[in-house]
Structure 1
Amino acid sequence: MKKAYAIVAITKKGVSQARFLHERLPDSDLYYPKKWVFGDEEEKDIYVIDGSMATLLSSLFLSYRGLILFMALGAVVRIIAPLIKDKRTDPAVVVLDDNGRYAISVLSGHLGGANHLANQVANLMGAIPVITTSSDVNQKLAVDLLGVQYGWQLDSVQHVTAVSAAVVNDEKIAIIQEVGERDWWPSSIPRSEQFTFYSSISSESRIKEDYQGAIVITDRLLHQQEWNDLPEKTILYRPKTLVVGIGCNRGTSASEIESVIFSTLEEEGLSWKSIDHLATIDLKRDELGLLEIHQKYQWPIVFYTKDELNQVSIQHPSETVYRHIGVYGVSEPAACLSARTNQLLLQKKKAGNVTISIGRLEKGVN
């Protein structure tokens, strides 16, 4: 199951439509019953099914990012109903009729991408996309998809539904953006007086009194007083703005590195969800602890040579480190290089076998 999407058809006419789509959607696998075979299935890597379609769909539901089903909508609903768990993890489900006239977004329209997939499939098939989510129908801001192209992460989904409803119902929304990319607003959505932009949270701004909802974009951990100054219907986005410079002794465990990263960020009032990448010396390319951290959190690691690190003027040069590996520091210059600044949020902290520095990417500077 190496593809992103599974296309499934159960009728003769549906199979013909599904084959047409499969040829035009490269990142897809195709499944249909044995009785409708064309004879070229093995050659085209098409899966022929000789069994229950309900059982098949139960398996595919857990294996693909999206399902494209040439089936009756009612049948699909009955089959997938027991499988639905959470819109953050459920796959996108798009249903088409046997004639390929309509592409209906059924499940996980926003977070799962079914709305986008329905439009994509409709374009390939010459079909009509059917989208029913209020934000799309009314050209409203989809608050659960902000900054998705930049990897922004929701801190919590607790108030997403409430803020989405506030947007759809034309209630006043405050958008407070401290850091992160500034061109995140979708080009297809017109800006309106419904939204007011702020660069920081302030009790003087009367955000809690004047707005029914708020969207906060920051890499900071908010203080309790800041939460008190915001409406109850508030969602918090974490843009990828933080660079963590890391130096460590050979053989340092992943658990120790992880503990230092998380505890230090908390001490500095920063969110680990805003980590963009780690930075270190190229001697650490095979450091197992770092590689385990990379695999666990999918944080990229940027490596620098000794010459690159030694070109950076740092506040805390170490003769001891230079004698051992030929550089005056690792975490501090690596963070400076990666964040493209000498003004780090944390210059350097030594904790056990780990040295850590924290920078903020230029895109996050006001």
Structure 2
Amino acid sequence: MPATTAIYALTARGADLGRKISGLIRADSFVLQRYAAEEDIPFSSLSDLVADTFNSYEGHIFIAASGIVVRMIAPYLKSKVEDPAVVVLDQEGQFAVSLVSGHLGGANELARLIGDRIGATPVITTATDCAGVPSIDLLARKHGLIINDISLIKHINSALLDGEKVPVYDPGGFLDLEDAGDFFYRIESVGVLSTSRCGVVVDWRIHDLPERVIALYPRCLTLGVGCRRGVPADEILELIRAVLDKYRIAPESLCCMGSIDAKADEAGMLEAAVRLGLELKFFSATELDEIEVANPSGMVMKHMGVGGVCEAAAMKLANATEILIPKTKSARVTAALARVVSG
């Protein structure tokens, strides 16, 4: 498995430190050519190197002055959602500075990890960390939740920094607040949020929310799809989007897509999964026939040897015994949704 972290060293002492760290956390060690050893990846131009590597690694550790690093990475910064973690170390290994993407990118965590491994002092300046309060973006990342609008994070974190407890509507229990009870409290109705300074909604459903309420979407829904031979991706996606709109389901909550293996070579099916960003899994007729579907089809049984495709595939993927959104049909496509059952 390739390394997900890159280390950059510009001096002889920095190179020694980089090799030490790469041996502790499994990272690629890039070293200025004149100081590179056999195990290093030599480079002659840091700016050219960063242009090639910045979006290829999840984390970057620069053993260099912060000013140099800022100038090197500035052209490639996009947003706190997309940017990789960037940590800066001095060549003596005294300080590990979380520079970019402290929360979502994991730079704070990386700085702490380096500090733990080599005895450096992590330097973390994000307000919530300094105040000792949890940040909603870090909680979302920890629990695998998708943030609908990153710009709303500031309202939640601001309230926490002001010492206010933030209401959370989470009917599915996706957000573990056991260690954050001093900062959040659960509510039973999303309507309560209309009178709150801000709030958090964790759900696979789309709600009409006040402007300072952030929606977090759990990836907990499986999509089963069936289609006739030769159906294009646009036609498949049209039905899927219609189902999501009808039932007010967040596309971000879809975690995977499935169908019968007879459709494994369907170009439209394959393209639809790619465009949705979903892993696509195929099941045999025998596997799908094990699932009792709510809406069996004699026609599907005749042609595929199974009572139903989309509902059975969705339930099989979710390890579920019941369907969440039953089969919906267009002229040549069927779709259904199930909710993932843990365990």
Give the distance between the partners of 1:88 and 1:320, measured in 2 at CA.
Answer: 46
Cα 1:362–1:36 shift into 2, 3 Å: closer
Secondary structure of the residue that 2:224 maps to in structure 1? strand
Q: Deviations over 1:82-112 (max 9, x none)?
A: 4433111222110111111211101110111
Aligned residue among 179, 191, 200 for 1:215: 200
- Asked if 1 retains the 8 angstrom alpha-carbon contact of 2:47 and 2:72, the reply is yes
CA distance in structure 2 between the partners assigned to 1:217 and 1:263 by the alignment: 23
Letter in 2 for 1:346: I
Indicate yes or no: 2:6 matched with 1:12: no
Question: CA shift at 1:2, angstroms?
Answer: 5.0
Q: Which residue of 2 aligns with 1:280?
A: 259
- Counterpart code for 1:191: G
Aligned to 2:29: 30
TM-score, L = length of structure 2: 0.91
Q: How does 1:105-144 map to 2 (within 5 A)?
A: 105-144=98-137
Q: In structure 2, the residue corresponding to 1:178 is in which secondary structure?
A: coil
> In the superposition, relative to structure 1, how do residues 336 and 16 fare at CA in structure 2: closer, same or farther (>3 Å)?
closer
Structure 1 unmatched ranges of 5 or more: none
Match of 1:327 among 306, 309, 322: 306
Query: Secondary structure of 2:151's partner?
Result: coil
Contact 2:104 2:141 (C-alpha < 8 Å) held by counterparts: no
Which moved further from structure 2: 136-145 or 105-114? 136-145
Query: Quick check: 249-258 or 3-12, which moved more?
Result: 249-258
Please give the per-residue CA displacement for 1:263-308, whole angstroms capped at 9, x wherever unaligned: 2111111111101222322323333322223333332234333233
Equivalent position amino acid for 1:54 in 2: S
- Does residue 201 of the first structure (1) align with residue 190 of the second (2)? yes
Cα shift at 1:55: 3.6
- Which residue does 2:55 correspond to in 1? 62
CA contact (8 A) 2:7 2:29 kept: yes
Secondary structure of 1:314's partner? coil
1:41-95 deviation per Cα after TM superposition (whole angstroms, max 9, x unaligned): xxx2x22122x32343344323322210111123222333344331112221101
Deviations 1:131-157 (CA, angstroms, capped at 9, x unpaired): 111222222121113342443211111
Please give the secondary structure, in 2, of the residue aligned with 1:99. coil
Q: CA deviation at 1:316?
A: 2.3
Identity %: 32
Q: Which amino acid aligns with 1:66?
A: G
Provide Cα deviations, 1:153-191, integer angstroms capped at 9, x if missing partner. Answer: 111113112222122221231101123535x34x7x542
CA distance in 1 between counterparts of 2:302 and 2:52 reads 57
3-state DSSP class of the match of 2:294? coil
Q: Is the 8 A contact 2:81 2:150 kept in 1?
A: no
- Which residue of structure 1 lines up, in the alignment, with residue 181 of structure 2? 191
Please tell me whether residue 298 in structure 1 is matched to residue 277 in structure 2. yes
- CA 200–343 in structure 1, closer or farther in 2 if over 3 Å, else same: farther
> Secondary structure of the residue that 1:89 maps to in structure 2?
coil
- The aligned amino acid for 2:181 is R
Question: Are residues 155 and 313 of structure 1, via their aligned partners in 2, closer, same or farther at CA, if it must alter by over 3 Å?
Answer: same
User: Hey, what does 1:146 align to over in structure 2?
Assistant: 139
Between 249-258 and 145-154, the greater mean CA deviation after superposition: 145-154
**Residue 43 of structure 2: which of 34, 49, 57 is its match?**
49
Query: Which sections of structure 2, spanning at least 5 residues, go unmatched?
Result: none
Against the structure 1 CA distance between its residues 321 and 119, is the aligned structure 2 distance closer, same or farther, given a 3 Å change threshold?
Answer: same
The yes-or-no answer on 1:269 pairing with 2:248 is: yes
Instruction: Tell me the equivalent position of 2:296.
Output: 317
Contact 1:171–1:212 (CA under 8 A) maintained in structure 2: no
Which residue does 1:234 correspond to in 2? 213
Residue type of the alignment partner of 1:32: V
CA distance in 2, matches of 1:281, 1:200: 39
Distance 1:97 1:307 in 2: 60
Q: Distance in 2 between matches of 1:81 and 1:346?
A: 46
State whether residues 247 and 356 of structure 1, in contact with CA within 8 Å, keep that contact through their aligned partners in structure 2: yes
Number of aligned residue pairs: 342
Structure 1 position 342, deviation (Å):
4.7
Indicate if the aligned counterparts of 2:140 and 2:147 stay in contact, CA closer than 8 A: no
1:242 maps to a residue whose letter is L
Q: Name the TM-score, length of structure 1 as normaliser.
A: 0.86
Give the aligned residue type for 2:20.
F
Deviation of residue 195 (structure 1)? 2.0
What is the RMSD of the two structures over their aligned residues, measured on CA atoms? 2.3
Q: Which moved more, 1:94-103 or 1:120-129?
A: 120-129
